[in-house]
Structure formats: structure tokens, C-alpha cells
Amino acid sequence: MAALAPLPPLPPLPPQFKSIQHHLRTAQEHDKRDPVVAYYCRLYAMQTGMKIDSKTPECRKFLSKLMDQLEALKKQLGDNEAVTQEIVGSAHLENYALKMFLYADNEDRAGRFHKNMIKSFYTASLLIDVITVFGELTDENVKHRKYARWKATYIHNCLKNGETPQAGPVGIEEDNGVTSNTIQPTPQTIPAIDPALFNTVSQGDIRLTPEDFARAQKYCKYAGSALQYEDVSTAVQNLQKALKLLTTGRE
């Protein structure tokens, strides 16, 4: 993809928008690396900023300039399907966030603690925030965001204080501030499988749309992601959804 032209500059960030400053920084960092990610980070910042304060003069000015950036970026991206089709954009963003999360998680489990892995954990959590522009997060994404944010903070504080962090999922700060015991695998309840799915044959009059294929791919991706964390239940549920969609044309 050709390099993007410079975007219109933004005015200073109003104090009211402090909560979106890291999302905007992530957008800037991805302008050349992955413009689609940069676009959706700005879109998230825009939508969130509108909810926070769209009336104060300095906020209105900032949002107006941010809108200019969004329009310029969208124009440059042209007919990129990840921008013109939400389902493609959602899958692109989720894949990117998951790769970043898995990189940091693998480094963590191997006991390799450094600034890049801390930043990867934190950026992954920010990108999961951004995924909300497409709707509600899956339970899996909510867990990934909480864990990534906690890990980034925990490892950063350990290194700052000259301590050696514990590798892997050793525990997590719960909402009441108490650290849970070491995370242990728990017996999993496998969801009941519809017997009809064993005999599924695509009906001749079923015509699947490009959106149907994209949704089926998304369910398969969710299943693959769940297996990364040995979450058999979620994997089976998503594979069943994909199979039903492909054989009946319905979800």
C-alpha cells in the first residue's frame, strides 16, 4: 500500500479527553504500520469524545479536527474493504489485537520481561477498547482486555521497583482489589451438540452471501482463538454456529 499523506494536525488535547489520549497515540503509531488500525483508533476516540463532551468550545474544536483526520484517512484508504465493510474491519482489528496479545503472552510465559512486551499487552487492551465501535465485546475479548491491562501494570511496577515478575497467569487483581490464587485449569463443561449437525448437508437452494461467508470465517476464527487458551466450550459453540450458517443460511 502506498504511503499515506500527512494528516491535518490536531489541537492540544482538552483535559476532558484524557481517557482517549492513549488510543490517539496508538493511532499515530499505526499511521504507517497499519492505516486501518489507525483509522479505527481515531473513530473510537471520536465516538468516545462525543459522549464525553461535544459542547465545550475547546472540545468541539478538537473533535472537528479529529473528524477532518478521519475523513482524510478514509479518502486515502479508498475502497479498502476493512473500512467499507464493518465485518471485515472488525475481523482485521481483532486479529491484530490478538497477535499483539499472544506475542506479549508468549514473552511473559517464557520469562522475558521488557518494555516492548509491556507495551504490547497495553496496546492490545486499547485495541480491544476500539473493537467496541462494532458493538458489544465477546466474553473472550473482555477477559483478554482485563488480563492484558493487569499484566502490563503488574510487570511495569515490578520492573520499576527492581522486582522480578512472576511469569504466566499467576493471578489477577479482582474488582474488589484482592488478588486471587494462582489460576488453575478448571473442568470444562462441553456444550451439547445438536445431533442434526452430524448429518448436515448443504441444501441446494441455499444461497450464501459474502456477508454469510465472512461471518462463518469469523466464527471459525473465534474457535481457533479459544483453542489457544484451551477453551473447548467456546470453540465448540463457535464451530457449531459456523456449520449451521453454512448449511442452512441461518444463524
Q: Fill in the amino acid letter for 154.
A: Y
Instruction: Identify any residues that bridge with 173 across adjacent strands, giving them in sequence order.
Output: 179
Query: Could you give the CA distance from residue 129 to residue 81 in angstroms, rounded to a whole number?
Result: 21
Kindly list the domain boundaries of the chain, sorted by start residue: 15-83, 89-161, 210-248
CATH architecture of 210-248: Up-down Bundle (1.20)
**Per residue in 139-157, pLDDT tens?**
989 999 999 999 999 999 9
**Per residue in 116-135, pLDDT tens?**
999 999 999 999 999 999 99
C-alpha dist (Å) from residue 34 to 72, 107, 237, 238: 15, 23, 31, 28
Cell representation of residue 56 = 465545550
> Within 13 Å of residue 119, how many CA atoms lie on the same side as its CB?
8
Domain 89-161, CATH among 3.90.226.10, 1.20.1300.10, 1.25.40.270, 3.30.40.230: 1.25.40.270
Q: Which fold has domain 15-83?
A: 1.25.40
Is the whole model's pTM more than 0.75, yes or no?
no
